[in-house]
Amino acid sequence: MSAEYQRFSPRGTAAEIEEGLALAPKFDADGLVTAVVTDAGDGTVLMLAHMNADALALTIETGFAHYWSRSRKALWKKGETSGHLQRVTDLRIDCDQDAVWLAVEQTGDAACHTGRKSCFYRRIPLGRAPSPALEMELVDGERRFDPAAVYRRT
Amino acid sequence: MSAEYQRFSPRGTAAEIEEGLALAPKFDADGLVTAVVTDAGDGTVLMLAHMNADALALTIETGFAHYWSRSRKALWKKGETSGHLQRVTDLRIDCDQDAVWLAVEQTGDAACHTGRKSCFYRRIPLGRAPSPALEMELVDGERRFDPAAVYRRT
């Protein structure tokens, strides 16, 4: 807790949090903020991830995206395994400081573990109530890499 | 639970969830998926919100963004109070189907409750370890509306 206060500002009043220029992130009950990641070139939303205090501090300090893997319960430098690093060109925080937005240059043009550029490769059709018969549309399903070759799960 | 199964497909294997075209959202322990909202015109990330099954179904059916307010514990049609509706032009879901991306036409060009276009109006400087002395930079701080006038909290 004391380490947190050395790196970030304490949470203040709602006005201070929303209007101030001090970085006072609101980590949730699991110690995380949500991170939205977009392509610095064309604005595509690439992925959504989470950061704990260490991941946020490392991202700020190094300019390379670090996250907290909720499934593996581990700090994670994006691209550590796959080589697909994310260089951050712009980092912003939202009004209540519980979410960050990273614009990144994505090595290999593939942010998704399935090998695709973006995790958001399926479109939900609009205009009628959803049912199990609803069929989504594949959008840019092209794989930039073979996940089986990159992530050897032996 | 049975209502859920009438609207959405059951979760299948990882391959079905990631590669299939059936909509099988993974609602978290609170019954929510995360929603990233971008401006359909210029790609700006406007806000981050959450949807329960009803909010997602209403968004799909009507083409207008609906969310679940975690603070008010209520279903929320965006713009209901402020008039700042969001017409969805593109709706996508991510690989593991626990997050959606909405591209929207934002009435009033203001998505943030502070009156700004985007909730992400502050930039975090990169390249050195964060400390309480770190000062963020205001980016597009212009208010499109006066929140005190729009949200009368009497």
pLDDT tens sequence across B86-104: 999 999 999 999 999 999 9
Question: Domain range holding B101?
Answer: 3-150
At A64-122, the pLDDT tens digits run 999 999 999 999 999 998 899 999 999 999 999 999 999 999 999 999 999 999 999 99
Give dist(CA B81, CA B84) in Å, integer: 8
pLDDT of residue B150: 85
Mutate to test the interface with A, among B124, B131, B139 (most CBs of A within 10 A): B124
Looking at this predicted complex, what is its ipTM?
0.94
CATH number at residue A8: 3.10.20.810
pLDDT of residue B154: 46
The bridge status of strand A86-93 relative to strand A99-106 is antiparallel
User: Average of pLDDT values for B117-128?
Assistant: 98
Concatenated DSSP letters of B27-71? --TTS-EEEEEEETTT--EEEEEEE-HHHHHHHHHHSB-EEEETT
Per-residue tokens: B104: 């929207």
Per-residue tokens: B76: 């929320």
pLDDT of residue A154: 46
Give dist(CA A58, CA A37) in Å, integer: 16
Give dist(CA B48, CA A143) in Å, integer: 27
Number of domains making up chain B: 1
pLDDT at B11 over 80: yes
Give dist(CA A39, CA A111) in Å, integer: 9
Identity of residue A64: F
What is the model's pTM? 0.94
pLDDT at B1 over 80: no
* A:8-67 residues touching chain B, CB 8 A cutoff: 8-10, 18-19, 21-23, 34, 36, 38, 42-45, 47-48, 56-57, 60-61, 63
Confidence band for B5, pLDDT divided at 50, 70 and 90: low
State whether B124 and A93 contact (CB < 8 Å): yes
Give dist(CA A47, CA A34) in Å, integer: 11
- End-to-end Cα, chain A, rounded Å: 38
**R_g over Cα of chain A:** 18
Concatenated DSSP letters of B108-130? GG--STTSSS-S--EEPP-SS--
C-alpha to C-alpha distances, A113 to B11, B21, B35, B147, nearest whole angstrom:
19, 18, 20, 41
Chain A residues within an 8 Å CB radius of B123 = 90-92
Size of interface A-B (CB pairs under 8 A): 167
B114 near A CB under 8 A: yes
Q: Is A140 annotated as a binding residue?
A: no
User: Average of pLDDT values for B47-63?
Assistant: 98
Identify any residues that bridge with A66 across adjacent strands, giving them in sequence order: A77
Chain A residues within an 8 Å CB radius of B94 = 47-48, 119-120
C-alpha to C-alpha distances, B55 to A30, A38, A115, B113, nearest whole angstrom:
25, 24, 30, 19
User: Average of pLDDT values for B12-37?
Assistant: 97
At A29-56, the pLDDT tens digits run 999 999 999 999 999 999 999 999 999 9
Neighbours of B39 (CB within 10 A): 20
User: Average of pLDDT values for B58-78?
Assistant: 97
Give dist(CA A111, CA A126) in Å, integer: 26
